[in-house]
Amino acid sequence: MSYLFLKKHTIEQWRESTKTTHKARYERLLDQAASYADHLPPPEHPSDSITYIGMAVANMSFAYLLSGDKSYLDVARKWIKVGIGYPSWGKERMPDHDLDAAWLLFGLGLGYDWIKDDLPADERQALHDKLYLQCERIYDFAVESEGVWWSSGYWQNHNWICYAGLATAAYALSDEHPETKQWTDRALENFQIALPLMADDGSDYEGPVYWRYGFIWFLIYADLEQQQSGTDLHNSNFLAKAADFRLHLSAPNLINTANIGDTHDRRSAHSAAINHRLASLYRLGHIQQLTDHFHDTGEWLREGREGLVKPGVLPEAILEFLWYDPTLEHAELKEQPLTMTYPDMGFVAKRSSWDIDATYLAFKCGSPTGHKPWMYGQAYNRTNDGWQTISAGHAHPDENGFILIKGEDYLVVDEGYSRTKMSKHHSTILVDGQGQYDEGGYNAFRDLGPEWGGRLESSINLGETSYMRGEAARAYHSDLGLRQFTRQILFLDSNLIVIHDTLRANENRTFSWQLQMDETPEKVSDNSYAIKAGQSGMSIEVFEPQGFQVDIAEEEITANPTSAKPDWIIRSMQYALVLSPAEKTDTTNFLVALNLDDYAVTKLDASRGHAIKATKGDKTLHAAFADAKDGILVNDSIESDGNWLSNSSEAGTLKAYSAGEVTNLWFDKVLQFCADYPMSVAAEVADSGVKLKIQSAISTYISVRFATKPTQLLVNGEATDFHYNADVSLVRLEIPSGESEITIDV
C-alpha cells in the first residue's frame, strides 16, 4: 500500500529504519506522540489558534503506522473528534480561510490517509466529510479573493501554508473525489509562480522567526508534489541558499538571532526539520553538523519548550524523521565564510570568527520586501489592476539600521515584534522626527510605489576588514526633501566598528542619529558614552558633528503577535542614544566609533574627508572616509582618492591596509598601491611577502609596494609575469576582472 507523503520508501522500509538509521528520530517521534495523551483540545473552539491540532494528529497517526501501537490510534481518534467538531477552523481571524484551517487540512489530511482503514466507519466518514468541506471553503476563498490577500500574496507565509494545506487534504481525498484535481492544480500553479519569485540569494525579509514558521511549507509542498505528480520544484536558488541565509542570521552562540523583522523573541527561529531537509537536498554537511550538535546538546527540546511561535518545533517530529538523511557526512562549520552579503534584501552579516564569544554585526539597507519581490510585486500589481500582491506587514522601516552582538550579549538591538512600525525603534536616522516609509501602523509599506526603498551600494570583505555602505534617502517621504543618507560602516580588528553618515536635504532639518540598546547608556565624557550588556561592554565615541545635542529616549514596545490570542502581549524596554546637530542644517555628518575593547580612539585633522586613529599597546588602526568625491587627505600621513580606507600597524610598521574605489593609496608619503581603474583592495604585509585581495570590475593593471624584487608572484594560484621598479619599490602586474587573490613572495 502506498501512503501519502511516505512514498520514498515502503512502509516496511520506514519501519526497518526505526531500528537502525532513524532510531533516535523515531524515539523523538514516539515521545512527541505520547505527549498528546495527557490532554485534549477544548470541546468548544477557543479564541486561541488551533493549528497544533493538525500536527498532533499527524504525529500520532505516523507513530501508530510505524509502531502498530493502538494507544496512539486511540488518542488520535479523540483529537480528531474534537477537531472536526468545531463548526469552523479558526475563530478570531478569518475562520475557515486562513492558517488554522490550513494547518488542520495538512495534519488531518495526512491522518486520514494513514489511518482511515483503522477508523470505525462513522468516524472515517465524519473526518472525510469535514476535510472535504474545509477544502471547499478555503479553495473558494482563494478563488474569490485573488489579487487581494494570501491567494496571490506570493511573498507571504499565509500563501505558502494555505495552499500546502489545501493540496495535502486534496490529495488525501483524490481517490474518492476526482474533482479535487482542481484544488491540487491551483496549489501547483501557485507554487510554480511563487517559488521563482523568491529572492535568488535565499534571503527572506520576514526575519528569522517567520522564516522558521513559514519557510518550511515550501519544503512540505515541494516534497508532497514531487511524490504525487513527479513535478520537481527543488531546482531553486532560493531553496538551495536558504539554510546559509538562516545560518548567517545566527548570533555567535548560533542559538540567538539577528532579530530583524517581526520576531517574537531573539531565538524562536530554529527547526531541525528544515535543516535536515535542506542539508539532504543540497548536500550541506555543515548544516547537518549544526543540527546534530543541537540534537546532542538538547537545544531542540529547549526551543520546543520555550519558543514563543506555535505550534513550535516539537510537533515537527514527523518531518525530522522523514527528512533525516543518514548518508550525509558532517562538514566543519568553521570553514564557512565569516561575512555573507544578501544583495536582494540588502543584508550583510559579519562575524569575527565562528567562536561563541565572537563579535557579530548585522546591517540592513534595501527595499521593503527585498529588491526582487518589491519590484516584481509592483509589476504584478500594475499588470493586474487592483491587485495587492505585496503584503509586508512583518517588515520594518529600518533601512541603514544594524544589530551588534558580542558573544551572547546584545549591544545594539532591534525591537523585535511590533504592531506599530516606527523607525525611532531602530538604529537609523529620523528627519524632523519622522522616520521611513508610511510608519505608524502595522504595515508601513501599504500602497507605496517602486520609487520607495533603500539600497545596499557596497559590501566588501577583505582580510580582517569589512566595509558596507547603504543609501536610504528614498526610504523617506519626499516632502522631507532628503537627498542623501549614506551610511558607511567599517568593521575593524574584531572589536572596533566605525560608522560614518552623510546627510543632505533641500532645506534645514533636524537629523536625529539613534543607537538602540537594552540598557541606559551612561555619559563618560562630553563625547563618550558607555553601556554594559551581560559580560560585554561598549563605549560610544562621537566625533562628528561638532557641538551635538544628546537625548536618551526610553520607550516600552508592545505587540500582540496574533489576533487569535488578543490577550497575548509581548513587552520590551528599549533605550536610545539620540544625537543631533546643535542647530538645524541642510547638510551634516556623523562619525561614531563603537569600541568593544580598550582602544584609545581620537579624531584626526583632515584636509579632506573624515578620519580617526585607534591605539592599543603598540598597535595602531586608522579609518577614513571621503567627503563626496574629493578623496582623503590627513596631514602628511594618509592620502588617497578612495572612498574609504583603513590600515593597521604594529610598533610603527605597516601590517595591513584596505581601501575601496581607489586608484592610489599613500601612507607617510610612501605609495603603497596604485591602479589604473578604481577597485577595492586589502593587503597583509609581512617580511616574507604581501598577500592581497582585489575586487575589480575590469581587467587592468595595479602596482604594489615591495621592498625588494619578488622571487615569485601568484595570481589566483598561478605564476604571473610582473615588472619591478627598484627606484620606487613597486611591483607592476595585470589582474583579471572579478575577485583575485595575489601572493608576492620574497
Q: Which fold has domain 339-594?
A: Beta-galactosidase; Chain A, domain 5 (2.70.98)
- Residue whose C-alpha is closest to residue 399's, from 419, 369, 376, 378: 369
More confident residue, 35 or 566: 35
Tell me the DSSP string of 104-143.
HHHHHHHHHHHHGGGS-HHHHHHHHHHHHHHHHHHHHHHH
State the average pLDDT over residues 502-509.
Answer: 98
Mean pLDDT (the chain) is: 95
Residue 567 has pLDDT above 90, yes or no: no
Q: Do residues 180 and 138 make contact, with C-beta atoms less than 8 angstroms apart? A: no
Banded model confidence at residue 47, pLDDT cuts 50, 70, 90: confident
Q: According to the model, what pLDDT value does residue 257 have?
A: 96
Instruction: Determine phi and psi for 409, rounding to 5 degrees.
Output: -100, 125
Smallest CA-to-CA distance from 694 within 739, 664, 659, 736 is with: 739
Integer angstrom CA distances of residue 454 from 367, 381, 706: 5, 21, 41
Is residue 463 scored above 80 in pLDDT? no
The answer, yes or no, to whether residue 66 has pLDDT greater than 90, is yes
Q: Assign 450 to helix, strand or coil.
A: coil
Return d(Cα 389, Cα 683) in angstroms, integer.
47
pLDDT for residue 391: 87
Q: What pLDDT band is residue 591 in, cutting at 50, 70 and 90?
A: very high
Beginning with the edge strand found earlier in the chain, give each strand of the sheet holding 429-431 in spatial order: 429-431, 511-517, 570-580, 549-559
What are the beta bridge partners of residue 681? 659, 694
The whole-number pLDDT of residue 343 equals 97
Task: Place 36 in a pLDDT band, splitting at 50, 70 and 90.
Answer: very high
What pLDDT band is residue 643 in, cutting at 50, 70 and 90?
Answer: very high
pLDDT in tens, 404-443: 999 999 999 999 998 899 999 999 999 999 999 999 999 9
With 90 as the cut, is the pLDDT of residue 2 above it? no
- Whether 503 and 482 have beta carbons less than 8 Å apart is answered as yes
CATH code for the part of the protein at 199-336: 1.50.10.100
Residue 708 has pLDDT above 80, yes or no: yes
Give yes or no for a contact between 622 and 633, defined as CB atoms under 8 angstroms apart: no
pLDDT at 309: 87
Which residue type, as a one-letter code, is found at position 448?
L
Q: CA torsion, points 575, 579, 584, 590, in degrees to nearest 10?
A: -140
Candidates 530, 495, 248; CA nearest to 364 is 248
Confidence bin at 251 (pLDDT 50/70/90): very high
496 beta partners: 492, 595
**Which pLDDT belongs to residue 213?**
93
Given a cut of 80, is residue 555 above it in pLDDT?
Answer: yes
**Where are the domain boundaries for CATH 2.70.98.70 in the chain?**
339-594
Q: Report residue 310's pLDDT band, with 50, 70 and 90 as the boundaries.
A: confident
Per-residue pLDDT at 269: 77
Q: What is the mean pLDDT of residues 156-180?
A: 97
Contacts of 597 by beta carbon, 8 Å cutoff, 6+ apart? 495, 496, 616
Output 15-21 pairs: Cβ under 8 A, ≥24 positions apart: 15/66, 18/66, 18/67, 21/324, 21/326
**pLDDT given for residue 566 in this prediction:** 75
pLDDT band at 559 (very low <50, low <70, confident <90, very high): confident
Here the cell at position 405 is 552582538
User: Domain 1-197: which topology?
Assistant: Glycosyltransferase (1.50.10)
Model's pTM, two decimal places?
0.95
Positions of CATH 1.50.10.100 in the chain: 1-197, 199-336
CB 656 within 8 A of CB 683: yes
CA distance readout (Å), 574 to 206, 255, 292, 577: 21, 22, 35, 10
- Cis amide linkage into residue 178, ω under 30° from 0: no
Per the CATH hierarchy, to which homologous superfamily does domain 619-745 belong?
Polysaccharide lyase family 8-like, C-terminal (2.60.220.10)
| Ranges for all domains in the chain classified under CATH 2.60.220.10 | 619-745
Beta-strand ranges (E) seen in 642-721 are: 644-650, 653-667, 670-686, 689-696, 700-705, 712-715, 718-719
